[in-house]
Structure 1
Amino acid sequence: MTSHIHCQNCSMAALCLPYQLDQDGMARLDTIIQRHKPIHKRDVLVNAGESLKCLYAVRSGSLKSYTIDDNGVEQIIDFHLPGDVIGFDALANSQHRSYTQALETAMLCEIPMSSLDELAEQMPGLRRQMWRLMSGEIYNSKQLLGTLNNRSAQQRLANFLTTLADRFKERGLSNRSFRLTMTRADIGNYLGLSVETISRILSALQAEGVIDVQNKLVNVLEPERLHELAQ
């Protein structure tokens, strides 16, 4: 049951807010966290413009964050995996700047901002972890911008796959065989490529023996070659 899952025994703790906290610190953080009920594929967790009340830590499943411009065009800005924290973009003005939607059934921990602010003042380690996570989010955004500006379509997709593989490895999962929870349209939107281009490059990489793709399952056959193509 979700009520029995705590920071102390969560497999994602090393990637999440409890990172580097001692047992007492974890227990104190655990007292303010609410275990969010499961959300299902296509459910919207937060809407752009909503007031910031909580941060959300992903315990299982995956989600995407996106913006919608004045013409109603969606732009995906991030994919969230277990251990990621959602909501940092709202800290500047206490309003969420993007929408976040589940790509599959996901379990989340809800962290009230009012309680988190108070606890962070008392626990420097927690404050440093928040800074660490926010810094990582900024760095990843800059990396994505560099990828979109300076790389070919094949390099963009190869970089996306290698980055995703690394993220799975960080979570104790296989970086050689993993399932894509996002659609090819989502990947294309994120990378600034058409669905046709994504499909063509995947087929080419498969023909070269770099990867094998079966529906949503990706097997990386030559990780070093994939990494070379991403550079």
Structure 2
Amino acid sequence: MTDHSAHQASPPTGQLQCQGCSLCTHCLPLGLGPEELKRFAAIIDRPRPLKRGELLVRQGTPFTSLYVVRSGSFKQVVVDSGYREHVTHFLLPSEVAGLDAVGEAIHATSVVALESSFVCELPFTSLEALSDRLPALRGALYRCMSQELHRDQRLHCLLSFATAERRMASFLLDMSARHAERGYSPFGFQLAMSRADIGSFLGLALETVSRLMSRFQRRRLIAIEGREVSLLDLPALEALAEQGDTRR
């Protein structure tokens, strides 16, 4: 059975304690000691609930805070000059929204909840001041920014050169790896995003996404029930992501 705890967990009531959070070993304050964690928790605004479709941040608005996903998931989107929406990333628990706005102090993208979700808000002025006193926190912040840059570079390469099948296989494997990093099953998870969102992210038409999903199911690479996806043949998906279109 698929483990849904990554999506359904809610924050505890009462005083916020990072040490009591199941995501603490994967989150921004990774590596902080007990006393440092208390100081970090003190700057966090109370976890904020969002409903599916609700905006966390809007493109073009001033940047004031980073947001750590505590439960649920989000899509990061940019609207171009033709008012077309493009999905640039999906955020899972422990990942940070708003990093792309640090330099210009303006949000370059909007962040939208894909399901009922909670975030921990980190006012950036408080975070900067604390990171000046806690080198481990400053290092963690730099690490998050570096990971964001690496992810963007990897996506650019994927969309520039990969076949449609390779893009889809790579997407499923990336979701699998990110769930595994958080201690959840790499073989079964929910895809809270729509197929249209997946297509926008991968640079594929909705019809192509549906066709690829059906093809992968016929080849018994995956099984889909509603929004739940099971990866039945991980080695075959890995080969497909490396080799491209190898129909059989």
> Scaled by the length of structure 2, what TM-score is found?
0.91
The equivalent of 1:134 in structure 2 is 145
Residue 188 (structure 1) aligned with residue 195 (structure 2): no
Alpha-carbon distance in 1 for matches of 2:132, 2:108: 25
Residue 212 (structure 1) aligned with residue 223 (structure 2): yes
CA offsets, 1:11-36, max 9 Å, x none? 11122211011111111101000123
The equivalent of 1:15 in structure 2 is 26
- Are the counterparts in 1 of residues 27 and 94 from structure 2 also a CA contact under 8 Å? yes
1:3 match: secondary structure = coil
1:50 match: secondary structure = coil
- Are the counterparts in 1 of residues 48 and 121 from structure 2 also a CA contact under 8 Å? no
- Are the counterparts in 1 of residues 58 and 110 from structure 2 also a CA contact under 8 Å? yes
Report the identity percentage.
37
The equivalent of 1:203 in structure 2 is 214
1:109 match: secondary structure = strand
Residue 154 (structure 1) aligned with residue 169 (structure 2): no
Q: Report the RMSD for the aligned CA atoms in angstroms.
A: 0.9
Alpha-carbon distance in 2 for matches of 1:40, 1:5: 21
CA offsets, 1:57-102, max 9 Å, x none? 0000000111101110001111000000111111111111110000
Residue 55 (structure 1) aligned with residue 66 (structure 2): yes
Match of 1:87 among 94, 98, 104: 98
| Number of positions where the alignment pairs a residue of Structure 1 with one of Structure 2 | 231
Residue 42 (structure 1) aligned with residue 53 (structure 2): yes
In the TM superposition, residue 209 of structure 1 has moved relative to its aligned partner by 1.0
Structure 1 unmatched ranges of 5 or more: none
Distance 1:5 1:173, change over 3 A: farther
Which structure 1 residue ranges, 4+ long, deviate > 2 Å from structure 2?
A: 1-5
2:189 match: secondary structure = strand
In the TM superposition, residue 215 of structure 1 has moved relative to its aligned partner by 2.0
Alpha-carbon distance in 1 for matches of 2:47, 2:60: 21
Structure 1 letter corresponding to 2:118 = M
